[in-house]
Structure 1
């Protein structure tokens, strides 16, 4: 046993094991999206998986550890417009400038987001147990449930595990990631994003969105598909 690592009763994580875990995560992310992974997102993912990476990387930090221990598999890069933003790519993609992620959006320039109804927000955020499937009902009311016995009776659609935040391979802030997952899920299932939108009592009166919802009937609404940022714009725009 290493004299510097006391016996805690649980097997300690080795450097090569940590490199293997991070490499698999980065490779899978790049395979799906063709983009680098923010270094901060890797740290968040490791923490969410309860992987004690800090005891392995030590004072050099995650970036220094990857540069030293994983240089043959991974490449730590900085964005050309903001060198403080670090991301990680498969080593063979190090010269792929198109794979560099965009700089984070400054708070004062952050996009306003439409408010997603609470039950739906929960359905894309709550962890899903192994062996179970998540189902979401949009009509007549928003509801979701997990089970291992197949589709429940009623108007339920499956939320595939890859669209549920704790299990998704996605970088960026949690809020941005969940909105992206919801948008992709809507496209896959041909769901009208308006069905997920919630206008609290007293909000949205006189907005273009409220006018749209009041004029169109259910069959009309079922034929409408619009991205979440357009919904937010309609809510902000007042109709005089």
Structure 2
């Protein structure tokens, strides 16, 4: 039922509007729960805007274009596109990329499932997905490891017999509890080395909260 037609093009259809709004709000609430879980576990804020914005955009895109019967092929195409995207800033860490895929998956499910399952089943599906994330984060206590590249000039400590001195020196200089390290490059002309250090993000964030 169209209430306004311009040049034989339906500009506003009242039949789908209430369902679009309901589904859109439901999808945003689900995405917000995923982001809330991510925020409580990772203590990072730089991806909040991206996750919510991508969720809203993907949902509306899939929901409105589902009528042209692109359906599964289109959904898989979205995953392929986002799988090869590299933002022009920093590379997205694996865990953040995983949450991005979850956000996209939730949005696609909520947009395409209207012809196949009801709201109760859809709620259960979303809860199952969020519950799986919670189990992986909380119950299994998966550690999130991040890395940092440092320029180190005291190359005498790079000797294998001085590993303990090297770790102590790096921890004092960076203030980070280092799990392991990897020497990337040695420059004997300038007496410097490029070292990648790996550390537990949660442990580091806990130290920051205590210091604050």
TM-score normalised to structure 1 length: 0.27
Q: Relative contact order: is structure 1 or structure 2 higher (C-alpha 8 Å, sep ≥ 6)?
A: 2
Say which structure is richer in strand.
Answer: 2
Which has the greater radius of gyration?
2
Say which structure is richer in helix.
Answer: 2
